[in-house]
Structure 1
Amino acid sequence: VLDALTLEDCEPRAFPIFAQIEVVCIAIFTVDYIFRVCTVHAVPPSARRSGLEPGLGRDPRSLSLMFTENLSFSEGFSRTWNYARQPLALVDLLAIVPFYVDAVSKAMGQESVLGQAAGILRLMRVLRLLKLARGHKGMKMYVDVMRMSGQPLLILMFFDIIIVVLFGTLMYYAEGTEFSVAAEWTAP
């Protein structure tokens, strides 16, 4: 039985349900991103600067006034462009684009370079967690501590990042992408 093992038998495979969950999540994130980009021109700059959601906690009449602002095309486009260039909006875009790049490269039968680049860009999804931590009290305390501690902590973080990247790269190359089915590892 052990002699019949092949390379494909030893490669790790995810359960198919994870692919379905990914498709649903990417669809939701895509619709959310498109709606935000398409409607951001309607939100006045004063509401964006204050961090208030349009109409929440305000007089209901102000909600209708807020969205009746007459904008020229160039001003609306400028607002949309400024929003799309913000770091968190770019993180959202970079989190969903790899899925579509991967899907297109598979459909075209060219999974080599595009698929690998999409795999690297998928790591950007982790940066979405920064959006969740933005309003948390613990995160605010962390930011205050970082401001007070200043330069020594920044130097420590810099070296930590270098070490993480270095050892992560070493682990990637040490593990490789090929799986061995040598008899000494599969025999009882």
Structure 2
Amino acid sequence: MGHISLRKRTRRLVDPTHADGRGKLFNWVIISLILLNVLAVALETVDWIYAAYSAQFVLLETVSVAVFTAEYLARIWSAVEAGEPYDRPVVGRLRYATRPLLLLDLVAIAPFYITLVGGTSDLRFLRALRLMRFLRLFRLVRYSESMQAFGRAFALKRGQLVVAMTGNLILLVVASSLMYFAEHAAQPEAFPSIPGTMWWGIVTLTTVGYGDVTPVTPTGQVIGSAVAILGIGLFALPASIMASGFIQGSSYETGYCPDCGHEIDWESDVSADGPTYGVSNRVRIDITAESALDYDYHGVHGTVAEYDPDRDEYLIELDESEERLTATWKDLRTPLR
């Protein structure tokens, strides 16, 4: 057995995807420590608990920061073992340190060192720094497949989510403005300004309806009714988009198309350079985000009639309609049936 360097062993230890027994134990220790820290931050806000166990809270914080700091430095030091683009000793480590989860690790431990060196005497700022320890909870993303699924779904649907949230923001501004002009004269305290009216707009559009602020004029009630009806559909839109993202993201794990249930052979169908199909090969049209074809062709089978190597395009003769269309490898999959 070849010699494994300390740096490589460290990389395997701190890598959550490593299946080694010591790696799994390390992951569970870090997860447990993160959860314990979040619980401690919450309990510290209970005066009598903090008064009775303040020394234990300080000890837990000191030990936790020491462990998290050692883990952070170990990740930076062993980053070169991750390969490109982190294989350069200095530049690679600096680039690795700018990854979102590494930045989150740094922000989660920074408040301890800021208060330790006496970087501030403002009590309000100190309280804000202590609350930043809740960010340690987000470090669980590195170890949780479920939390990573949220990230995948958001990445897949970020464009649609931006459009939906922009529409919601526009509706909020318009609804709040109209309600302000309709109700301000009758209720100057409840609707003091357009920004102040946005509280009513958010509560109404999200269909929460606390009832603390309500329109009393006929015009305001008509506007409120319309806004409530619009909010049912438009404010629920991001949830449906995220649900679609979860379904689409799960297809990369199960190997099945989320729309038609076709089994996908990822090893042969998807690669860095794309698969190559020969004339007379059977293919299946699979519309993805990178496809240029219309979605009506999704799931349709056909045969490769011609291939243009210069343009890397295929002429596909469809089975049912005998129609011919031009496609790239990104539009095609190997049928497994």
Q: TM-score, normalised by structure 1?
A: 0.49
More strand by share: 2
More helix by share: 1
Asked which structure has the greater RCO (Cα within 8 Å, sep 6+), the reply is: 1
Q: TM-score, normalised by structure 2?
A: 0.29
- The structure whose Rg is larger is 2
